[in-house]
Structure 1
Amino acid sequence: MSEAEDRQPGEVLIVTGMSGAGRSTAANALEDLDWYVVDNLPPRMLKPLLELTELAGGAVPRVAVVVDVRGRDLFTELPAVTRALRDARQLRVLFLDASDDALVRRFESVRRPHPLQGDGTILDGIRRERQRLAPVREGADVLVDTSALNVHQLSSRIVELFSEEGAARHTVTIMSFGFKYGLPTDVDMVADMRFLPNPFWNEALRPLTGQDAAVQEFVLAQPGATEFIDAYASALTPVLAGYQRENKRHSVIAVGCTGGKHRSVVTAGELAERLSSQPGVAVRVTHRDLGRE
């Protein structure tokens, strides 16, 4: 067998984003998923690294590389290097972000300066980094906002996004949530179920959730409920097929109601049932606010 035949290009994930947004946590979670993780690699070293993994003959099928502003001026080469590699490799870019307030709190809690802070404040460093990362964020395949996530929640999200899904070419997460707790930031589409009567005002249903049969029957019996779910699932079918053609590996569909306890939970389950039969698609359901007061 020739050297060329020995080469087996595998999946590549570039992990980048704002300092303090959770890159180390993401890298640890990927290692637990049996990804080969390389931290703080200069962008120009990506191609030589991947050539070495190809020579391993499939022994390193999934490589995750953490690239960030610690690479100093070399970091500016990342967009060009990424574009050059996309044609030859199955490559995705994960960008971790967080609000300025959340990042400031994190840096203050560990009593460390921001890498681009210089003689200024932590916020000065964050603003410089946002400006420098703007082109990378724009070209990212997966964006995760970690502002409201602790390390355990972020690890769980990485597992959801990057664990193996067999033959599935696209994974869709259907997330129920409550509008009163805020709109999710890292989602692709949002559906609002507040046009249906709220089971909260039914004393018998109030203590139950959308996972209980009585609530499911109530919600689905309302005028327009099943019509909306059927129509929305039908509208999503060509979208998910298009995502596969464009090699978008993951999407998040958020379904909201007032508290994220009844209507959105029922709808998320119904959508998952309808979408799970779509070829090449793996469906996960998560309930962001279920159990909150």
Structure 2
Amino acid sequence: MITDRPKTILLVSGLSGAGKTTALKTLEDMGWEVVDNLPLVLLDRLLDTPLPAGHADGDDRPLALGIDARTRGFDGNAIVQRIKALRERHGHDVETLFLDCSGTELERRFAETRRRHPLALDRPAADGIARERELTEPLRRWAAQVVDTTSFTSNALQQEIRNRFSREGLSEPVLTILSFGFSRGVPRNADLMFDMRYLRNPHWDEALRPRTGLDPDVAAYVMDDRSYEDTVGKIEDLLITLLPRYAEGGKTYITVAFGCTGGRHRSVHIAERVAKHLQAAGFSPTVLHRNIESAPQDSLEKRRPGGPKA
């Protein structure tokens, strides 16, 4: 029996080679639950099956179903009737996206990828394209949204899907603010990296050396640098500008890394400050301190203890 809560369902169909796989992958990256080539007779069972652990949003996740002429028991007219039933009997918000493409372009794509058309394994691709177009015509006529991908690149199609089906709070990228020590290696997964070694180094203050950037005294020491407020403020302004653009571009994970020599003082404090600033601006960052537990070592700090303070 189908759950009583109305669910948003997007049926994604179209011609083979028109971009269905790209569309479904993009929806999945946006936070949709995606199931491809599921026989519609099993849809009731799917809607009744609980989501796996880790999906706190439960039934509120929209569902994208991929279906095309390769799906077992495919019947365009029967599928249309099934969609009507889901809407009328159970109150589900069901919409159909159909991906179309010119026959000439589809032939070029199959030739370029050296794939056989699934409906013409022993015949020219043009025969399979014509047959599939006939089979899927009822779905194309019924579809609320039709996208012609003839002139689309993969990236252009991804952006089109995001523009049409993004949902507030669902497709936000995972934002991580990371502190690290350059002396212990540069993080490989950083999208943006800022070097904080120009700021005063608390390591050379004997009272502050064993502490970390989470300590108020260490924070005060770093903040006392004459360049601190101007430069860190500009970094925060830059991130406020860039992060939404990364999200618009479809990035699923964004890591902003702040490094100092040992990864215990300056980078830790800056990461904490920037994360709080971004949170106040509406972002939801996770803060990680990679090297905060590492032991302080004079040999890594590039200056003799007797020299002038950095």
The two structures have a TM-score, normalised by structure 2, of 0.49
* Rg comparison, structure with higher value: 2
1:46 aligns with 2:43: yes
**1:118 shift after superposition:** 4.1
CA displacement, residues 203-249 of structure 1 (integer Å, 9 cap, x when unaligned)? xxxxxxxxxxxxxxxxxxxxxxxxxxxxxxxxxxxxxxxxxxxxxxx
Separation in 2, partners of 1:60, 1:66: 19
Amino acid at match of 2:140: R
**1:48 shift after superposition:** 2.2
CA displacement, residues 6-54 of structure 1 (integer Å, 9 cap, x when unaligned)? 8422211010000000001001110111000001111222222123369
**1:94 shift after superposition:** 0.5
Matches within 5 A, 1:199-218: none
Match of 1:36 in 2: 33
Matches within 5 A, 1:137-176: 137-164=140-167
Matches within 5 A, 1:234-273: none
Structure 2 vs 1, CA of residues 94 and 74 (structure 1 numbering), >3 Å: closer, same or farther?
A: same
Aligned length: 163
Unaligned stretches of 5+ residues in structure 2: 170-310
Structure 2 vs 1, CA of residues 134 and 74 (structure 1 numbering), >3 Å: closer, same or farther?
A: closer
Q: Alignment RMSD, CA only?
A: 2.6
| Aligned partners of 1:8 and 1:57 also within 8 Å | no
Separation in 2, partners of 1:93, 1:42: 16
Separation in 2, partners of 1:138, 1:90: 18
Separation in 2, partners of 1:118, 1:112: 9
Match of 1:81 in 2: 82
Match of 2:59 in 1: 60
Separation in 2, partners of 1:37, 1:72: 18
The two structures have a TM-score, normalised by structure 1, of 0.51
Amino acid at match of 1:17: G
| Aligned partners of 1:9 and 1:53 also within 8 Å | no
Separation in 2, partners of 1:84, 1:108: 40
Separation in 2, partners of 1:89, 1:53: 17
| Aligned partners of 1:9 and 1:58 also within 8 Å | no
Q: Percent identity?
A: 39
**1:127 shift after superposition:** 0.3
**1:148 shift after superposition:** 0.5
Structure 2 vs 1, CA of residues 143 and 127 (structure 1 numbering), >3 Å: closer, same or farther?
A: same
Separation in 2, partners of 1:131, 1:24: 21
Separation in 1, partners of 2:35, 2:73: 19
1:127 corresponds, among 130, 133, 140, to 130
Amino acid at match of 2:27: L
Match of 1:117 in 2: 120
Match of 1:70 in 2: 70
Match of 1:222 in 2: none
1:103 aligns with 2:100: no
| Aligned partners of 1:67 and 1:75 also within 8 Å | no
Unaligned stretches of 5+ residues in structure 1: 167-293
Separation in 2, partners of 1:164, 1:13: 13
Match of 1:272 in 2: none
State the SS of the aligned residue for 1:38. strand
1:15 aligns with 2:12: yes
Amino acid at match of 1:79: V
Separation in 2, partners of 1:118, 1:79: 27
| Aligned partners of 1:8 and 1:58 also within 8 Å | no
| Aligned partners of 1:14 and 1:92 also within 8 Å | yes
Separation in 2, partners of 1:58, 1:124: 44
Amino acid at match of 1:117: A
State the SS of the aligned residue for 1:9. coil
**1:75 shift after superposition:** 4.2
Amino acid at match of 1:32: D
CA displacement, residues 151-184 of structure 1 (integer Å, 9 cap, x when unaligned)? 1110000000000158xxxxxxxxxxxxxxxxxx
Amino acid at match of 2:139: V
Match of 1:246 in 2: none
